[in-house]
Homo-oligomer: A and B are copies of this chain.
Amino acid sequence: MERPELPLAQLHAFVVLAEELHFGHAAARLDIAQPPLSQQIRRLEDKVGHPLFDRGPRRVTLTPAGRELLPAARRALADLTAGLAAARAVGSGEAGRLRIGFAASLALTVLPGLLRTFRQRFPEVHLDIHEMTTAPQIAALHDETIDIGLLREPPADETELRFETVLSEPFVAVLPSAHPLSAGRTVRLSQLADSPFVLLPREAGPRLHDQITGLCAAAGFSPRIAQHAVEWQTVCALVRSGLGVSLAPASIRHIRLKGVAFRRIEPGTARTGVAVAWREGDQNPLVAHLLAAVGHDPAEEPPARRPSGRASRCSPRSR
């Protein structure tokens, strides 16, 4: 990439003069006096090495060399204005791309509303949404494959990630409709002690898995896991087919599946949380925007990175 030593001011003057073909008018459009314009053009011609205009007695004309340079100058100016505008839009978070990972169970609850409000506020922003369970989201956040995670029960030992709970919900028992316990409105956990369980594998989301087994332990038993499935949809289907019962966050009630009943757990104190996750100190303004959209106040955030002086330079830099 070479560097042509052509000040943009001169190119601008050149383009305007090429349109006006009249030094006086062009100077007026450029809001300068006429002699400076003559100088601009002359300097440009000196740099090019050849005249760009024929100064006829009564009219100014482009030379062939000028005609050759004109489209390039136009394109360059247009590219730069457009690029500058785009960069500013992206920099201010009015445009760009945000990659979001989300747990499948949220596709029917928090996700749609979030997308809707965000799109309304930032129509120029492209949202890439990827369904993934908790553990892959953590990994994807670390290697910057996604910028935002929507997940359940994040691990507590993450130092470079931050989490904010956006929703807390109770657990429900997932039973086949034919199951005797589905007759009542609620189920005591201990009543499931002898039933086989269908659960997500622990690797998909260790914290949630541990929470479920912990609940069972509190109720005095250790769940016998008959089958693993990586999606709640599948869990419900397996429950319906009689493979076992399950414990799940209440929002999976949105999975309407004939032959499956959801029953509140007794006691109802145990709750599971849905959190947004992001990289601590992520400079991408879209991350902040999305956090704001889910109700997180960015002011609670410490500056994290670059605390020395110019931590936040998005607004006009102070010296």
Contacts and interface: CB of A to CB of B under 8 A. Distances in A.
Interface of A: 1-9, 11-12, 15-16, 19, 45-46, 48-52, 54-55, 63-69, 71-84, 86-92, 96-97, 283-284, 286, 306, 313-314, 316-317
B78 A1 contact: yes
A65 B91 contact: yes
Given A15-B1, A63-B91, A88-B65, A317 B83 contact: no
A3 B74 CA distance: 10
A88 B8 contact: no
A50 B97 contact: no
Nearest to A83: B72
A75 B86 CA distance: 15
A91 to B, nearest CB: 3
A317 B317 CA distance: 43
Given A76-B76, A313-B45, A84 B4 contact: yes
10 contacts: A3-B12, A4-B80, A6-B8, A48-B87, A49-B314, A64-B91, A65-B88, A69-B87, A72-B80, A75-B83
Nearest to A92: B50
B8 A51 contact: no
A317 B51 CA distance: 10
A213 B19 CA distance: 51
Nearest to A96: B64
A139 B231 CA distance: 83
A135 B55 CA distance: 29
Contacts of A81: 2-4
B68 A76 contact: no
Contact of A87 (B9, B46, B50, B97): B50
Contacts of A283: 51, 54, 63
A270 to B, nearest CB: 41
Given A75-B79, A79-B76, A80-B72, A51 B313 contact: yes
A79 B87 contact: no
Contact of A68 (B6, B66, B86, B316): B86
Given A50-B313, A90-B65, A317-B46, A1 B84 contact: no
Contacts of A69: 83-84, 86-87
A73 B83 contact: yes
B5 A88 contact: no
A264 B90 CA distance: 83
A283 to B, nearest CB: 6
Given A2-B77, A68-B90, A76-B80, 13 more contacts: A7-B7, A45-B313, A46-B316, A49-B91, A50-B90, A50-B314, A55-B306, A63-B283, A67-B90, A68-B83, A69-B86, A73-B80, A76-B77
A89 B86 CA distance: 34
A310 to B, nearest CB: 9
A164 B71 CA distance: 36
A30 to B, nearest CB: 9
